[in-house]
Amino acid sequence: MLVRPRRLRRTAAIRAMVRETRLSPSMLVYPVFIREGRGVVEDIDSMPGQKRYSPDEFPRALERLSKVGVDNVLLFGLPEHKDEEGSGAHAENGVVQQALREGKKRFPRILFITDVCLCEYTSHGHCGVLKDGAVDNDPTVGILAQTAVSQALAGADVVAPSDMMDGRVGAIRAALDKAGLTDTAILSYAVKYASAFYGPFREAAGSTPAFGDRKGYQMDPHNAREALRETALDVAEGADMVMVKPGLPYLDVLRVVKEASPVPVGAYCVSGEYSMIKAAAMKGWLDEERVVCEAALCLARAGADILITYHAPELAGWIRDGKV
Ligand code: PBG
């Protein structure tokens, strides 16, 4: 008698029970742009639906987020004045520092993560200080460490260096410890590619380099094994969590990093990924809810423990409603 190999009958109840991947709102991180000023909430043209908030308006954004169950935010600062050294990044009264104080006071249960980088703060838009027209690694690392300490003192629970300088995780850890900030965690952008998918962000943050590109310090999209080396170095230097960025086009990288990493792994679904979906949805060409749910699911299946996404508020609701 022929024995027909059987597989589970795929009723909705069985599908729900045997899922290999499950999402939770607690894994979501929502990026927020903070700009100088008072009473400002402004649209970001390149990212429909996303806004820039002045520090005093930030608690209102947090209120909306906590209502939908998003408890983790990632802050980016847009200072009024930029200079060669990006000194606004570590100013005691810098935009991010102000927002942290406002937010922390009102929402102590929210997890505050800060992007540690200089590109939003430098007049030339590069992620570090320059020497002979190129980013000078070592002096930059010192400024980044100072920035991380300043953000942690203002209330950051986690600092997330995204500059891609060598040795910055170790320097940040040492500086935090020296300042007594031993509980501040480091989420390293360990695996960050030089990607065209950051296009809408650079408009949002006004951080397009005035000349050249970031290929000298960000990773080459041709390489996947290099991601393992970057991860190993950052973990050795004290990273508590690492991330891969961008998200969807780099699922293979995310998978290998997950397999090799002893620490939790995040995926950053970047501005270009958001705006592509948004634009197609606005045209009626894609079903936004289904596409966002599927993209999030694929990132989690590939290995993401943490998901950083501009769709976090909507996604949290869709997860809760069992849409994914
Ligand atoms: C800062 C930084 C960037 C992003 C996160 N941190 C921009 C860049 O490297 O050019 C991109 C995020 C996004 O596109 O959503 N260095």
Query: Residues 104, 131, 178, 245: which is the catalytic one?
Result: 245
Pocket test for ligand 1, best of 162, 189, 214 (most atoms within 8 A of CB): 162
CB 302 within 8 A of CB 77: no
Determine the distance from the C-alpha atom of residue 225 to the mean position of all C-alpha atoms in its chain, rounded to a whole number.
22
Q: Which two tokens stand for residue 238?
A: 């004290």
Active-site residue, 105 included: no
Query: Residues 82, 192, 258, 278: which is the catalytic one?
Result: 192
User: Which one, of 48, 104, 119, lies nearest residue 73 by Cα?
Assistant: 104
**Host H or E run for residue 100:** helix 95-106
Taking CA atoms only, the protein residue closest to ligand 1 atom 2 is 162
Which CATH superfamily, name and number, covers 22-320?
A: Aldolase class I (3.20.20.70)
Pocket test for ligand 1, best of 47, 75, 116, 201 (most atoms within 8 A of CB): 201
The DSSP result for 9-78, as a single string, is ---HHHHHHT-S----GGGEEEEEEEESSSS-EEE-TTSTT-EEE-GGGHHHHHHHHHHHT--EEEEEEE
Which ligand 1 atom is the nearest neighbour of the CA of 270?
A: 15
Pocket test for ligand 1, best of 114, 121, 165, 198 (most atoms within 8 A of CB): 198
CA of 198 to the centre of ligand 1 (A): 6
Taking CA atoms only, the protein residue closest to ligand 1 atom 14 is 198
CA of 97 to the centre of ligand 1 (A): 19
Amino acid of residue 323: K
User: Dihedral through CA 46, CA 287, CA 319, CA 264, nearest 10?
Assistant: -50
CA of 322 to the centre of ligand 1 (A): 31
pLDDT in tens, the chain (324 residues): 677 777 767 888 888 888 999 999 999 999 999 999 999 999 999 999 999 999 999 999 999 999 999 999 999 999 999 999 999 999 999 999 999 999 999 999 999 999 999 999 999 999 999 999 899 999 999 999 999 999 999 999 999 999 999 999 999 999 999 999 999 999 999 999 999 999 999 989 888 888 888 898 999 999 999 999 999 999 999 999 999 999 999 999 999 999 999 999 999 999 999 999 999 999 999 999 999 999 999 999 999 999 999 999 999 999 999 999
Which ligand 1 atom is the nearest neighbour of the CA of 120?
A: 1
Ligand 1: residues with CB < 6 A are 115, 117, 119, 127, 162, 198, 201-202, 270-271
Dist CA 60 CA 106 (whole Å)? 10
Active-site residue, 258 included: no
The DSSP result for 217-261, as a single string, is TSBPTT-SHHHHHHHHHHHHHT-SEEEEESSGGGHHHHHHHHHH-
